[in-house]
Chains A and B, each alone.
Chain A
Amino acid sequence: MALIDDSRNLPGMAGEARVEDYLALLKPSVMQLVVFTAIVGLIVAPGGINPVIAVIAIACIAIGAGASGALNMWYDADIDAIMSRTQNRPIPAGRMPREHALVFGMVLSGFSVALLGLATNWVAAGLLAFTIFFYVVIYTMWLKRSTPQNIVIGGAAGAFPPVVGWAAVTGTVSFEAVVLFLIIFLWTPPHFWALALYKQSDYGAAGVPMMPNVVGEASTKLQIFIYTLILAAAAMLPTWFGFAGWVYTSVAVITGASFVLLAWRLLRTREDVAMRRSARTLFNYSLSYLFIVFFAFMTDHLLTRFGGFGA
């Protein structure tokens, strides 16, 4: 038995999409963060939810996020073919016709929104529908190719999942959910600009106006630092408004200070290779940061609710 299946390289296999190609359209790596933040929103929301309905709600949010990814790959197939990071996606690699991604994304979008509405409530379903619309139409079709502020405004799409999770339980959106939204919204620019700093030739070749390509590295590094400062301050809002205890506060202070320190180090680095290394470090750290902060928020909440710890 061959250890490596190389049948996709056979001549005449173009356009014959595999199951793995359909899964790749869903952007599983992005979905992890969406699912995790949605779970946190759902758990920390006041009130209860049936565990079966909770699982269905999270699945709907995951499928909705995956549908957005498929529609993004349908629309962006031309620039995906240029960038090294995205060249091997199913459409630019020639394993799937573009129209398949469009139909797949549309069907999953409709299905996820309808099922979420039936399982929980139509506020949550409406928010999920708006998130998909925002990511596909506002970000992918409009902002991404037209302004260096693309991921600042487009970041809202990635910030909605905890709000959808919260709304699935409560049927409404309150201040706590908005704070969770704000943390992800402010986290997005330093996260993506760090990536853009060490992948700027890719974005430049594809004609995507990412911040480093438009205003230069120095200005981008400064903006990363400023956003990181605002993010670290915004992460303290749950403490200031009394809906997080010492567990969350300790974690938010330490991780926020580390984030600011790494952004400061990037700001001070001039030499090209060192700057790229520093940007990559910041990008990787930013991924861990969001997971840790949200995990701490959830843990703090559970300890307060069930263990008598916390505030």
Chain B
Amino acid sequence: MSAPDEIRSVEAESPEVAAARAKIRRRRSIALGIVLALFALTFYALTIVKMGPALFDRSL
């Protein structure tokens, strides 16, 4: 697709489509955020379980 075509297709997008598209993208971003938070939580929990109390038992 050439540049003028792209511009035309963006211009042609109706307000309803733009709003629906924005809503879908926002929901996708929220879902991705939740997945990333779960990912961090999983590794945190795994580290604690694997290392146990020894995690905090280190010489200064």
Q: Which residues of A contact B (CB under 8 A)?
A: 7-8, 10-13, 16-19, 22, 50, 52-53, 56, 59, 115, 118-119
Contacts and interface: CB of A to CB of B under 8 A. Distances in A.
A119 B47 CA distance: 9
A119 B21 CA distance: 39
A17 B28 CA distance: 9
Contact of A19 (B16, B21, B31, B46): B31
Given A12-B14, A53-B49, A115-B42, A7 B28 contact: no
B17 interface: yes
Contacts of B45: 52, 56
Nearest to B23: A7
Interface size bucket, B side? Answer: 10 to 19
Contacts of B13: 12
Chain A: interface secondary structure?
helix
A142 B60 CA distance: 58
B17 A10 contact: yes
B20 interface: yes
Interface string B24-55: 11011001000000000010011001000000
B49 A52 contact: yes
Contacts of A17: 24, 28
B28 A10 contact: no
Contacts of A22: 31
Contacts of B12: 12
A56 B46 CA distance: 8
> Which of B14, B24, B46 is packed against the most chain A CB atoms within 10 Å?
B24
B57 to A, nearest CB: 19
List the 9 shortest-distance A-B pairs measured between CB atoms, nearest first: A7-B20, A19-B31, A12-B17, A52-B49, A10-B17, A19-B27, A16-B24, A52-B45, A50-B49
Given A10-B16, A11-B17, A12-B13, A18 B24 contact: yes
B46 A13 contact: no
Nearest to A50: B49
B6 to A, nearest CB: 14
